[in-house]
Amino acid sequence: QVQLVESGGGLMQPGGSLRLSCATSGFMFSLSTMSWYRQAPGKEREWVAKIDILGSRDYSDSVKGRFTISRDNAKNMVYLQMNSLNAEDTAVYYCNTRMRAADYWGQGTQVTVSS
């Protein structure tokens, strides 16, 4: 059974940093591309970043240069380091993997950026 469990969200002031974690189980993590998405209030879920099995990274334009995705295949973990946070980053952040055309999601972790 595929399980994705996000953690690390919270309340942060503008300009601050947070590191999100996603613990995974139930699938071949090292052979899976992993992604982060987010959903702000009243908006559709949007893709944020992904890292493939070779460690190649890609980011949405809105977070490029501020966020860094990484993975630890030994621990079956994926991370999202978020720097220079601003109010537009406020959202629920979700860990994602796709296998055989099916998307798997965690429960999400809330990130709120406010002064």
pLDDT in tens, 9-66: 999 999 999 999 999 999 999 999 999 999 999 999 999 999 999 999 999 999 999 9
**CA–centroid distance for 69 within its chain:** 7
If you average pLDDT over residues 73-87, what whole number do you get? 98
Strand pairing partners for 60? none
Cβ contact 60:48 at 8 Å: yes
If you average pLDDT over residues 66-73, what whole number do you get? 98
Strand pairing partners for 24? 4
Sign, Cα dihedral of 24, 96, 10, 69: positive
What pLDDT does residue 86 have?
97
What pLDDT does residue 56 have?
98
